[in-house]
Structure 1
Amino acid sequence: MKKAASIKRKTIDYIYKTAAAFFAAVSIFILAAIIFEVLKRGAGAINFSFFFHLPKPPGEEGGGIANALFGSFVITMIASLIGIPLGIMSAIYSTEFGRGTLFSRYLRFSTEILSSVPSIIIGLFVYAVVVVPMKSFSTMAGAIALSIITIPLIHRVTEEMLLMVPDTLREAGLALGVTYPVVVRKICLKSAKIGVITGILAAIARISGETAPLLFTSLNSPFWNFSLLKPMATANVTVFVYAMSPYDDWRQIAWGASFLITASILLLTIFSRILFKRVKNG
């Protein structure tokens, strides 16, 4: 009887391990297939014109997406400048100053809900409250939409990192006569800074791949734009537009832009994982 039960347990254990290994291998294969396909199709589009020239009119060969690359950089940076402080400060309040209060619980619940809202809904919201009143698509509207996406991501990571800081460090700072805001700034945030930076990089990687919110906010433009109040091209929207075009040259550029987006997100993700591993290992 005991031998039969042992064989049954080992069989079940083997089945579960085999199934887990199989599905893990499938996930890795899918990622590798995507990277390989994007690299194979997109590497050929990478050249000098791709980075430094504007798009050509429909039907003409050549050109690049210099304005779209610049637009992606500008919108991502502005979104980061808006979303990072809000995410960090809200996490500091809920963890340090409002810990255990009803408002902090509502704040934590709200950020969790916000993180699950589809990005296209956020884009539609910004379209209604920013684009429609301004009567124009704009760079700023796109940055606001992406910043909303970053807030819950950064809030969650910052909150978790601050909770990992031992209370004994806070108590030691207070025992020296330091005010609590200084303790939070000089001790808590300093101890959690690597983890917070990891969350920031992960949030930037997330918004770097967003397209749906930008269709409702910054839209697109075939020209250079240095105004925050006018439409601006981005690499993501360019992929969306060019991939559906009937021109082979445009579709090739779309693959090239896809390759750049994938590579940048992959590098940011790897770097953030390295930082997270450093935090985890102390």
Structure 2
Amino acid sequence: MSHATLTDKRPGSLRGATLPKWFPWAVAAGSIALGIGISAAAGLRSSIQWGLIAAVLFVLGTYGIAGRVEGRRQAKDRVVTSLVWVAFLLAVIPLASLVYETVKRGVKVLDGYFLTHSMGVVADKDPGGGIYHAILGTLQQVGIATVIAVPIGVLTAIYLVEYGRGKLAKAVTFFVDVMTGIPSIVAGLFVLSTWILILGMGASGFAGALALTILMLPVVVRSTEEMLKLVPNELREASLALGVPKWRTILKVVVPTSIGGITTGVMLAIARITGETAPLLMLVWVTDFINANPFSDAQGSLPVYIYLQYSAGGEAAYDRAWAAALTLIAFIMILNLAARGIARWKAPKTGR
């Protein structure tokens, strides 16, 4: 038996062999080189085409070499890992390209003057002007939507998790799921038909905020509901065993325990509605002047500003559109960073 074991492990046998750690990088480099060569020979000029060819070669090369050296089972594992990496790159490269292009084009006119002035009497095709009126409108509209949607959404989620057991809870859950998938234009049409046409209130930033509230509500409800479900039942039972009323248990135990996740969900919901354009075009309309009153007359907003500037055409309008887009991306990025910071700050601390 000892002789047989030594025979299985004799030098030169591929059984149990393992490829070096640099193997995936070598295959990737070879795949890229082959992809470029094949693309050049075939007359393909698009980097996307040679990138896809290189990805296919990477997966096939990984399986062929690993299957010959390590066996089919390990080769399949490496192929799945390769597919994960390829999918990751396919997702990251367009995102990185988008950010790079936005920064490259947006910094041309993005300065203090651009952020502190409105378009005023500047024509769309003329240089100058700024986005102060659009920033002010976006902050007010998103702020009003947040003030309305967050209390309603959080309380709805508390009802569904802590109290809802009957048909009403099932109906609320169903409609929340339906609202999650409705297009933004539908929310705009609903507010248009009720607030403007039936009630005759007129276009305003508040009307746009109502449409944003409809889009924000299901996100807040769903995220808060999931966070509340993560709170251990032992905490609730311990509080109730001490004679604490249920409402006080929810207020003092359940909500503080999940406040980090709830805050993160709210921040992501705000980021979700910040870039909406269609309902604002219908309900807020357009103005190039500063309107600090969201309850009266048309008001600017960043998404609509970007759309109109790019539609106007001309080098100056394009530069302003890219600069406004960069500002909007920076605003959403700050929200996401704030959400991560709050989630980490409020995360339960485990003793060592």
TM-score range, shorter chain: over 0.9
For the 8 Å contact 1:78–1:143, the answer to whether it is kept is yes
Choose which of 148, 165, 186 in structure 2 pairs with 1:121. 186
Compute the displacement of 1:176 (Å): 2.0
The number of aligned residues is 278
Question: Where does residue 274 of structure 2 map in the other structure?
Answer: 208
Question: Where does residue 108 of structure 2 map in the other structure?
Answer: 44
Q: Deviations over 1:7-37 (max 9, x none)?
A: 3322322222111110101111111100000
Compute the displacement of 1:123 (Å): 1.4
Question: Where does residue 9 of structure 1 map in the other structure?
Answer: 73
Greater RCO (CA < 8 Å, at least 6 residues apart): 1
Question: Where does residue 26 of structure 1 map in the other structure?
Answer: 90
Q: Do structure 1's residue 107 and structure 2's residue 172 form an aligned pair? A: yes
Letter in 2 for 1:130: W
Question: Where does residue 180 of structure 1 map in the other structure?
Answer: 246
Q: 1:1-282 residue pairs with structure 2 within 5 A?
A: 7-55=71-119, 56-98=122-164, 100-133=165-198, 134=200, 136-227=202-293, 228-276=295-343, 279=347
* Higher alpha-carbon deviation: 178-187 or 263-272: 263-272
* Higher alpha-carbon deviation: 201-210 or 44-53: 44-53
Compute the displacement of 1:151 (Å): 0.7
Task: Determine the C-alpha separation between the residues in 1 that align with 2:309 and 2:315.
Answer: 9
Question: Against the structure 1 CA distance between its residues 205 and 167, is the aligned structure 2 distance closer, same or farther, given a 3 Å change threshold?
Answer: same
For the 8 Å contact 1:136–1:231, the answer to whether it is kept is no
Greater helix content = 1
Question: Against the structure 1 CA distance between its residues 66 and 265, is the aligned structure 2 distance closer, same or farther, given a 3 Å change threshold?
Answer: same
Matched position secondary structure for 2:71: helix
Task: Determine the C-alpha separation between the residues in 2 that align with 1:217 and 1:73.
Answer: 16
Letter in 2 for 1:106: A
* Higher alpha-carbon deviation: 240-249 or 264-273: 264-273
Matched position secondary structure for 1:44: coil
Task: Determine the C-alpha separation between the residues in 2 that align with 1:160 and 1:281.
Answer: 20
Task: Determine the C-alpha separation between the residues in 2 that align with 1:212 and 1:9.
Answer: 51
Task: Determine the C-alpha separation between the residues in 1 that align with 2:279 and 2:171.
Answer: 26
Give the superposed CA RMSD.
Answer: 1.9
The TM-score, its normalising length taken from structure 2, stands at: 0.74
Letter in 1 for 2:285: L
For the 8 Å contact 2:264–2:342, the answer to whether it is kept is yes
Matched position secondary structure for 2:203: coil
For the 8 Å contact 2:257–2:348, the answer to whether it is kept is no
The TM-score, its normalising length taken from structure 1, stands at: 0.92
Task: Determine the C-alpha separation between the residues in 1 that align with 2:204 and 2:327.
Answer: 24
Task: Determine the C-alpha separation between the residues in 1 that align with 2:349 and 2:95.
Answer: 27
Q: Which runs of 5+ in 1 are unaligned?
A: none
Q: Deviations over 1:148-205 (max 9, x none)?
A: 1111111111111111111121122222222111111111111111111001110111
Question: Where does residue 11 of structure 2 map in the other structure?
Answer: none
For the 8 Å contact 1:174–1:183, the answer to whether it is kept is yes
Q: Deviations over 1:226-249 (max 9, x none)?
A: 331321100110000001112321
Question: Against the structure 1 CA distance between its residues 48 and 275, is the aligned structure 2 distance closer, same or farther, given a 3 Å change threshold?
Answer: closer
